[in-house]
Amino acid sequence: MWAIFFLIILIPLAIWGLSFAPWSPTHYSDIKRLQKILKCKKWQRFLEFGCGDARVCHSIAKHNPKIEVVGVELAYPIYFIAKLKQLLHPLPNLKIELGSGFKKDFWDFDIIYMYGMPDAIAKKILPKFWKEAKKWTKLISYVFSFKDIEGNIKNHEKKNKKTIHVLTK
Ligand SMILES: C[S@@+](CC[C@H](N)C(=O)[O-])C[C@H]1O[C@@H](n2cnc3c(N)ncnc32)[C@H](O)[C@@H]1O
């Protein structure tokens, strides 16, 4: 029984985690800060890259019913949690997808939120962002900063809280 659990849940979770980041959720209090920082406009499209249990994209969609929100998650056990949440609290402007965020075209979004590992951000996300994103697209990194890059970066710090980093192209 435990062997099956390891094989179908834990080992894949570890492998998926290497692709971008293992599951570790954004604190609820920081989602409130994020809402204040972003002040989403109704024409904007929001992507959560690696949405985990969808707490961030669900909150964004709930508080901004006019904007289109997409959450994409690679690990199916966590994706099912996100889908269950959507089933229990449906929001017409929220889409949760199973798959790799690297397959999404960043051009389609005005705000991209992520909580990823620094190495994956530097080597995989930033090149994709520079190549595909629109001029005004905001890339938000929870906790980890954008290191050694040129660009319009704002680091939103608060005592005893994680920093929210915003990069605009
Ligand atoms: C640190 S967690 C953040 C979860 C959520 N964004 C939050 O802040 O609460 C990173 C998530 O990205 C997922 N992930 C890893 N690689 C991915 C990929 N290539 N595409 C989509 N999701 C990925 C992981 O399974 C994990 O749920």
* CATH number, position 135: 3.40.50.150
Q: Which of 115, 140, 143 to mutate for ligand 1's pocket (most ligand atoms within 8 Å of CB)?
A: 115
Sheet of 68-73: strand order equals 94-98, 68-73, 45-49, 111-114, 138-142, 164-168, 152-156
Q: Which of 16, 103, 121 to mutate for ligand 1's pocket (most ligand atoms within 8 Å of CB)?
A: 16
Q: How far apart are CA 18 and CA 51, in angstroms?
A: 15
Q: What's the 167 CA to ligand 1 centre distance in angstroms?
A: 19
At residue 33, does pLDDT exceed 90?
yes
- Low-confidence winner among 5-9, 87-91, 154-158 (lowest mean pLDDT): 5-9
Domain count for the chain, please give it.
1
Q: What's the 154 CA to ligand 1 centre distance in angstroms?
A: 23
Which of 160, 159, 121 minimizes the C-alpha distance to 140? 121
Q: What's the 25 CA to ligand 1 centre distance in angstroms?
A: 9
Percent of the chain with pLDDT over 90: 84
Q: What's the 124 CA to ligand 1 centre distance in angstroms?
A: 14
At residue 97, does pLDDT exceed 80?
yes
At residue 105, does pLDDT exceed 90?
yes
Q: Which residues does a 6 A CB cutoff place in the pocket of ligand 1? A: 16, 19-21, 23-26, 48, 50-52, 55-56, 72-75, 78, 100-102, 115, 142
At residue 91, does pLDDT exceed 80?
yes
Supply the range of the domain harboring residue 128: 2-168
In this prediction, residue 109 carries a pLDDT of 98
> Which pLDDT band holds residue 68 (cuts at 50, 70, 90)?
very high
Top-confidence residue, 6 or 40 = 40
Which of 64, 65, 77 minimizes the C-alpha distance to 9? 77
At residue 160, does pLDDT exceed 90?
yes
22: three-class secondary structure by DSSP: coil
C-beta of residue 77 within 8 angstroms of C-beta of residue 71:
no
